[in-house]
Structure 1
């Protein structure tokens, strides 16, 4: 006779134990923030902290009892343990909060970027907090009460848990309410409710997206030039990645991260610019839409055309060149060149990725062959982390010591910042090369040229114990929202489109945001359309008719 040695546990105790495990083992970031929000650790706050813990255990217990049925409870708990263990790692190591935009950013990132986040500590965390508890649950024999008795017991568990939770909430409401109101980030830190709510929001958002894209700016026309300069124009829009304004020496940063751009006499550097989002999946479609941050949503942006479409309607040739993870829908109706895939024969490619200078390959010939005005978007790899050291060639590894691992917790903050600064130094070189290319092409082909540069979002490098980006905008730190914004216009471009350089220079310290990009690109090219808002055009006050 074979003995069954599998451990046995009653279904109600399993659910209670799972609730305690999730709250204790997988929510260190939440509890650190909660303790800080409620006055810190101490005997005087112990009743509040114990009561809050009991309150959350009871709420988890009530929710999990809804799936406490034979053949259902085990798979659900395994999924929860695995997903929560991974969530715990990213929240604990990088200070990441989980909301709908973070889920969108995760699902829309490419495989290469995702692989950069993998390391032994992540695998160890998932093993200890995900795989081992899952194996234990899977091999445990769960005892269920049969028939009506089981349903009554389950209903009693849910009702009793909710009743006691309500009593605890009433007792501690006066202390909890201010903390929850002033620290809204707490709801983004409590796992697994944070990612369950985020996934639900993302799914609803995707379902609500229109299948037909509404036209925008079909009436776009170019105002006739009052002067004699009618030479073709070429504008480069350089979309940066993860570059924060604070680490540009042009903005006062102590390290000389902009040695080349600082020598460009006609370069205009805007010092107070806010991003639309804190992650690529939000900022890129937002900045190229006419919606603005306050009105932006993913479904709205995908339901109507954007800036590149309006430029096409106005008769411009439009090209998107990508060295990143795609355009997030903004370039769906224009020409696209994906240069992000490594080419062993290309001098800018090393191992499995390419440096941003690959975006400049073949541009002079492309510009020469064009027969109409061009707008070309160059989407950088930029300073995408956590593998900052990979973003710059050896010649630009000037600051050190450098963190050379994606396990940022094993590096000093100084080495992380040094690696990041080297990526900014390389962006400085890349932008300078782009300007020099425009100068050379403009002189050779008799063109009017311009470059507009801005980053999609910033980056946290350890401030407030936060790393990377993607924090919910409402609680995001300035480092993730304040982005560089630069403009270079050739003399011919300024002449053709009647732009006053001195007037623009006087505006570089004013407050702007991604909301200005759509209307400013139209304004700098003198494009008339009903969707153009002159109040958001940076060039508006600085243009004249003759």
Structure 2
């Protein structure tokens, strides 16, 4: 019989007491702590308190790319520690302010857990590829097809998500939310929002002397605040179009007509424009790269411009811009849509066709002209040899090309043909998939989509193999064009949409906002080949063109250069932006002939 001061502790039936001699002391202590944590989580909490805790957790655990970047910029701890403290305050306040709109006692746990998972995924890609989640990057990611998504998946991603999301996921599952009336929750949430807004404003004003130059000189930092940046970018991409006025399609093809070179022509022109993908100018052997990545192009004596810059740093931004008549600045500031180069060429009477080897398509450029996917339909044998699922090597675009050409309207084909081929090129991170086994010259190559798992030399090998494969593909395309010389005057122009980071400054892939993107994401290759028929037809001076290969050019020049080469007359054509204007015509040919003969009347040499 127990005395009056005896006590007992209730426990589940069949569970031994903590001090049971049959239970080892560490196990008993662990059970005791577990029950204490479970009891603590079981206490009812307001949704606002959960939001504050969650914001603090995310700021500390899911913002390592931001803290690392601040440490890199600051150099010394005395410089970067105050910066980290300032950005921590702003990140916590911003996240609390955002999540205060979800601070309700019912149905919010899945939303909060979704935010945690999003933050974990974004941090993984920021750490792995040094990208920032600005609206342009998120829009590009939202257009990623299933094959590209598969390339970006890895066990490292799963592990990183678990490390960040497991603890808050378990806590959200266990905790109880205190019920409150709707009106009470609403005004309290408003007070929380106002409080953190005032705290953030006060902190920003107090630290303005340090924060202002930091943010002005490092604009990328604002897109590294996780999950604020990704949520802001998602909202901008998703809801931004809703609040914008309906875009009109502004015609630009009025007055388009074929020039004098088409009158009584013996053969029509056949022009192939290859839109490259993720190719860097400094990795082309033609442009001085130490490795001979372009032997096929060199053997065909092409022209390679060495100072060409892109309109954007991702396909979604660059491809529509490079075909636009507006130029980069006006294109980015436009309020309406405009017809593009393909519309003008079609309006002139030429046969035009867009062939795509990217599931993401032409980004609207080919919507109003004939177009097709290179991998649909495909012969079973070709598909097994060149494709992995719905993703194919670029050689697939050369299969059945004669039949595609013959299927174009005869009356248009008799005037001339413009064929655009949109490459898969060097699209990362799975560079090893962008070249065939028989074309891999640089080994060992990185065989993983988690680039951090590979050495820098393996990464370069995989990327350079993809460039070498593009070289071989372009060589085959030129050979096909030469085979058409009996019926056409052929020419080819290759221009990449953007470049790629391969670890420089700790960056990988592409898509960094243009204003502070590294040079390697903007410096792109541009290559041209002209058959004898096209050279004579347009009176192109080879020596003049060779002398201008170091002339600075941009994507803005493409529209006008193609119109000039194809002799299409239109009010939107600007000769000053035509890269070949000064090397075309009788005067250029005469100058070239005089230079070849020399002042003494004899051929030099």
One of 501, 515, 518 as aligned partner of 1:460:
501
One of 253, 258, 261 as aligned partner of 2:297:
261
Query: Residue in 2 aligned with 1:182?
Result: 217
Greater Cα shift, 488-497 or 134-143: 134-143
Judged with a 3 Å threshold, the aligned counterparts in structure 2 of structure 1 residues 425 and 174 are, in CA distance, closer, same or farther, namely same
Task: Decide whether the 8 Å contact of 2:355 with 2:397 is kept in 1.
Answer: yes
Judged with a 3 Å threshold, the aligned counterparts in structure 2 of structure 1 residues 411 and 343 are, in CA distance, closer, same or farther, namely farther
Matched, 1:56 2:91: yes
Matched, 1:360 2:398: yes
Greater Cα shift, 353-362 or 384-393: 353-362
One of 338, 341, 344 as aligned partner of 1:310:
344
Structure 2 unaligned regions, length at least 5: 1-9, 13-37, 408-412, 588-605
Secondary structure at the counterpart of residue 177 of structure 2: strand
Query: Residue in 1 aligned with 2:16?
Result: none
Query: Residue in 1 aligned with 2:541?
Result: 500
One of 503, 516, 522 as aligned partner of 1:475:
516
Query: Residue in 2 aligned with 1:539?
Result: 580
Q: How does 1:196-345 map to 2 (within 5 A)?
A: 196-207=231-242, 208=244, 210=246, 213-225=249-261, 229-265=265-301, 267-297=302-332, 303-325=337-359, 326-340=361-375, 344-345=380-381
Query: Residue in 2 aligned with 1:22?
Result: 58
Task: Decide whether the 8 Å contact of 1:269 with 1:487 is kept in 2.
Answer: yes
Shift of 1:300: 5.1
1:444-469 alpha-carbon deviations (Å, 9 max, x no partner): 32x21000001111111111111111
Secondary structure at the counterpart of residue 109 of structure 1: coil
Query: Residue in 1 aligned with 2:430?
Result: 387
Greater Cα shift, 287-296 or 460-469: 287-296
Shift of 1:320: 0.9
Q: How does 1:407-446 map to 2 (within 5 A)?
A: 407-442=450-485, 444-445=486-487
Judged with a 3 Å threshold, the aligned counterparts in structure 2 of structure 1 residues 435 and 308 are, in CA distance, closer, same or farther, namely same
One of 566, 570, 585 as aligned partner of 1:525:
566
* Structure-2 separation of matches of 1:534 and 1:474: 28
Judged with a 3 Å threshold, the aligned counterparts in structure 2 of structure 1 residues 175 and 491 are, in CA distance, closer, same or farther, namely same
Task: Decide whether the 8 Å contact of 1:261 with 1:431 is kept in 2.
Answer: yes
Shift of 1:356: 0.9
Judged with a 3 Å threshold, the aligned counterparts in structure 2 of structure 1 residues 305 and 471 are, in CA distance, closer, same or farther, namely same
Query: Residue in 2 aligned with 1:351?
Result: 388
Matched, 1:513 2:554: yes
Shift of 1:319: 0.8
* Structure-2 separation of matches of 1:488 and 1:43: 57
* Structure-2 separation of matches of 1:105 and 1:55: 27
* Structure-1 separation of matches of 2:341 and 2:353: 12
Judged with a 3 Å threshold, the aligned counterparts in structure 2 of structure 1 residues 351 and 49 are, in CA distance, closer, same or farther, namely closer
Greater Cα shift, 470-479 or 190-199: 190-199
Judged with a 3 Å threshold, the aligned counterparts in structure 2 of structure 1 residues 249 and 323 are, in CA distance, closer, same or farther, namely same
Structure 1 unaligned regions, length at least 5: none
One of 143, 153, 178 as aligned partner of 1:143:
178
Larger Rg, first or second structure (1 or 2)? 2
1:282-332 alpha-carbon deviations (Å, 9 max, x no partner): 11111111121112249757x222111100001110111111121111111
Secondary structure at the counterpart of residue 271 of structure 1: strand
Task: Decide whether the 8 Å contact of 2:386 with 2:395 is kept in 1.
Answer: no
Query: Residue in 1 aligned with 2:601?
Result: none
Task: Decide whether the 8 Å contact of 2:312 with 2:522 is kept in 1.
Answer: yes
1:210-261 alpha-carbon deviations (Å, 9 max, x no partner): 4653322121011112997541110000111111111111111111101111
Query: Residue in 1 aligned with 2:447?
Result: 404
Shift of 1:525: 1.1
Greater RCO, CA 8 A, separation 6+: 1
